[in-house]
Amino acid sequence: MAVPKWTDERTQSLVDFVGSGPVSQATVAEAADELETSSRSVSSKLRKMGYEVELASASQSNLSQRIKSLLLQTLFKITAVSIHMLKSQRTLKAEHSVLSQFKVKSFPCS
């Protein structure tokens, strides 16, 4: 992608888009799409103008943490379901054992 020059008009569009305060990598990416330029160019321009811009590496780290958290939550849910199934299975075996003591082979259907 050819990176267009930063004119006064494009710079003002960028400022209007990001507003004030720290700028996240998600906002940088959206601004880059809006202005048809690269995220790197947008980040660089914002930093030169004195904006605090989230580092791309920090954004990836946050994503990694969210993925790890999601995986742990999913694993916990799977484990909880597995434990429930094992308990249910043991209950069925115990009931079968009790019924077999009475030599009940089947239940009549009326």
pLDDT surpasses 60 at 89: yes
Q: From 11, 46, 4, select the one nearest 28 (Cα to Cα).
A: 46
Is-contact 47 53, C-beta < 8 A? yes
pLDDT: is 76 or 13 the higher one?
A: 13
Hey, CA dihedral for 3, 51, 53, 34, is it positive or negative? Answer: negative
Task: Write out pLDDT tens, residues 51-63.
Answer: 999 887 766 666 6
Distance CA(3)–CA(110), nearest Å, equals 81
Hey, CA dihedral for 16, 17, 19, 21, is it positive or negative? Answer: negative
Site of tokens 């605090």: 52
